[in-house]
């Protein structure tokens, strides 16, 4: 909830602060770069102090940073806003790395399902979050704060709640494969020594994130430029986040039964179809909502299958470090996509931007054949 509210609201704040949509993807990019940094930083803490301590620290750090960003946005201080968003992103890496914590609780044949349910858990918050944009902004006025601070405060409350819940509920000191059917060391490392599969997993993760960020980031501005208000923005973005999270258990179930590679192939199809449909759909229309739903669906299938594949393709002793490194690559490339998204919208328009995403979605295909 906290993250999707911020992602939906930031391009609008950025355009207002900078006066031009050309660079309106930069603040979001700061947050994404922060997530890339946070993935590497938190994975090192996890190695030394365990998953629970590292992930809780990340959530609480993000909550504090969101409050700083709220006051920076209200004061039109772009440098402090950028720094605050970088720190929010660094803490948000906890949410991304939590899927590996979920997978660590289960034996290999149940990992995709565990990751899928972990991703699905965000469904309610991610769908309702954008729909609450207007009331959250009005609630800030009720407490005599500028309306622009409302979504940031909501983000802080959401991350703080997540950190407290994780500290209370997540078991400490759980070994890899520590589920009911505890995996043996041989089973744990069964996928090790497969660099082609590891490369496929990394390329699929990076591609899904880049295509999703490229199209999603400028969608709120495209809808507003089409003459629609925050309600239309919220509906379309809620469709997108519904596609991202609601079907992730299905993606995990299919990945465990049909294999990781076929699900990555399905993700390529969904992402490509989404880019083509978004290019021809009217802004804020039902077809536009469906295009963004497909975008989320493609991300979900690729994210779940590739995360499980990466876990299986690396040695046990290197796993946490490489998971953090992979997420750093994912979010670093997504930050670049966020900046390029604004440039493409200003220079060539939303249709060409969406078609660019459709072409980039094909990137995993050569690696898919080799793996």
The two structure tokens encoding residue 292: 């963004």
∠ at Cα 1 (245, 145), nearest 5°?
A: 160
Spatial CA neighbour of 229 closest among 285, 299, 284, 288: 284
Is 178 part of any domain?
no
- Residue 363, classed as helix, strand or coil, is coil
Residue 59: which residues within 8 A CB-CB, separation 6 or more? Answer: 91, 94, 95, 159, 160, 162, 163, 166
Alpha helices in 50-142 (DSSP H): 51-74, 78-103, 111-120, 123-131, 133-142
Cα of 288 vs its chain's centroid, Å? 20
Residue 25: band (very low, low, confident or very high) from pLDDT cuts 50, 70, 90:
low
Q: Which residue has the tokens 């995360």?
A: 307
Average pLDDT of span 59-72: 92
Identify the weakest region by mean pLDDT among 90-94, 103-107, 223-227, 245-249.
223-227
pLDDT tens digits along 119-166: 787 777 777 777 777 777 677 666 666 667 788 888 899 999 999 999
178 pLDDT above the threshold of 70: no
Number of domains composing the chain: 1
Is 88 part of any domain?
yes
Q: Which residue has the tokens 């609008």?
A: 12
Q: What is the distance between the alpha carbons of residues 151 and 146, in angstroms, rounded to a whole number? A: 11
Identify the weakest region by mean pLDDT among 2-16, 17-31, 291-305, 338-352.
17-31
Amino acid 180: pLDDT: 46
What is the enclosing helix (H) or strand (E) of 231?
A: helix 230-245
Q: What is the distance between the alpha carbons of residues 166 and 369, in angstroms, rounded to a whole number? A: 39
Residue 190: band (very low, low, confident or very high) from pLDDT cuts 50, 70, 90:
very low
Highest mean pLDDT among 128-137, 183-192, 288-297, 312-321: 288-297
CA distances from 253 to 110, 116, 177, 250 (A): 8, 8, 18, 5
The pTM of this model reads 0.70
Of all residues in the chain, the percent with pLDDT exceeding 90 is 20
pLDDT tens digits along 251-287: 888 988 888 889 999 999 999 999 999 888 888 788 8
Q: What is the distance between the alpha carbons of residues 92 and 241, in angstroms, rounded to a whole number? A: 16
Give me the chain's average pLDDT, please. 81
Amino acid 358: pLDDT: 92
Residue 195: which residues within 8 A CB-CB, separation 6 or more? Answer: 313
Largest Cα span, the chain:
60
Q: What is the distance between the alpha carbons of residues 160 and 298, in angstroms, rounded to a whole number? A: 30
Is 341 part of any domain?
yes
Is 56 part of any domain?
yes
The two structure tokens encoding residue 359: 């072409």
Amino acid 277: pLDDT: 92
Task: Check which CATH number belongs to the domain holding 303 and give it.
Answer: 1.20.1250.20
Residue 20: band (very low, low, confident or very high) from pLDDT cuts 50, 70, 90:
low
Identify the weakest region by mean pLDDT among 17-31, 105-119, 264-278, 327-341.
17-31
Amino acid 144: pLDDT: 63
Structural domain that includes position 107:
2-173+183-370
Q: What is the distance between the alpha carbons of residues 345 and 340, in angstroms, rounded to a whole number? A: 9
Is 331 part of any domain?
yes
Amino acid 182: pLDDT: 39
312 pLDDT above the threshold of 70: yes
231 pLDDT above the threshold of 70: yes
In angstroms and rounded to an integer, the radius of gyration of the C-alpha atoms of the chain is 19
Spatial CA neighbour of 359 closest among 287, 275, 293: 275
- Residue 347, classed as helix, strand or coil, is helix
Spatial CA neighbour of 58 closest among 126, 111, 2, 121: 2
Residue 187: band (very low, low, confident or very high) from pLDDT cuts 50, 70, 90:
very low
Q: Which residue has the tokens 């739903």?
A: 293
Pair 324, 45: CB distance under 8 Å: no
201 pLDDT above the threshold of 80: yes
């Amino acid at each position: 909830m906290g993250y999707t509210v911020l992602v939906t609201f930031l391009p609008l704040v950025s355009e207002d602060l900078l006066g031009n949509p050309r660079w309106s993807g930069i603040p979001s990019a700061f947050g994404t770069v922060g997530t890339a940094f946070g993935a590497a930083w938190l994975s090192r803490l996890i190695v030394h102090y365990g998953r629970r301590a590292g992930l809780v620290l990340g959530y609480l750090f993000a909550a504090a940073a969101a409050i700083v960003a709220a006051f920076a946005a209200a004061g039109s201080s772009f440098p402090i806003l950028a720094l605050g968003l970088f720190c929010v992103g660094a803490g948000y890496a906890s949410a991304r790395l939590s899927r590996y914590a979920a997978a660590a609780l289960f034996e290999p044949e149940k990992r995709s399902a565990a990751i899928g349910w972990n991703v699905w858990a965000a469904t309610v918050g991610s769908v309702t979050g954008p729909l609450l944009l207007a009331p959250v902004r009005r609630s800030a006025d009720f407490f005599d704060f500028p309306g622009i601070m409302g979504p940031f405060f909501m983000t802080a409350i959401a991350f703080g709640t997540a950190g407290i819940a994780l500290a209370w509920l997540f078991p400490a000191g759980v070994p890899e494969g520590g589920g009911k059917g505890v995996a043996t060391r041989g089973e744990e490392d069964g996928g090790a020594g497969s660099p082609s599969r590891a490369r496929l997993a990394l390329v699929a993760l990076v591609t899904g994130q880049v295509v999703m960020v490229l199209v999603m980031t400028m969608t709120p501005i495209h809808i507003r430029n089409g003459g629609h208000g925050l309600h239309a923005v919220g509906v379309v973005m809620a469709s997108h986040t519904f596609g991202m999270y609601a079907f992730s258990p299905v993606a995990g179930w299919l990945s465990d039964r049909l294999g990781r590679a076929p699900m990555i192939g399905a993700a390529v199809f969904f992402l490509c179809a989404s880019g083509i449909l978004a290019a021809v759909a009217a802004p804020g229309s039902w077809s536009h909502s469906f295009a963004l739903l497909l975008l989320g669906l493609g991300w979900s299938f690729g994210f779940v299958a590739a995360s499980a594949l990466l876990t299986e393709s690396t040695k046990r002793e290197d796993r946490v470090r490489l998971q953090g490194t992979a997420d750093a690559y994912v979010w670093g490339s997504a930050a670049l996509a966020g900046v390029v998204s604004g440039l493409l919208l200003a220079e060539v328009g939303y249709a060409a931007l969406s078609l660019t995403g459709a072409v980039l979605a094909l990137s995993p295909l050569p690696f898919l054949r080799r793996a």
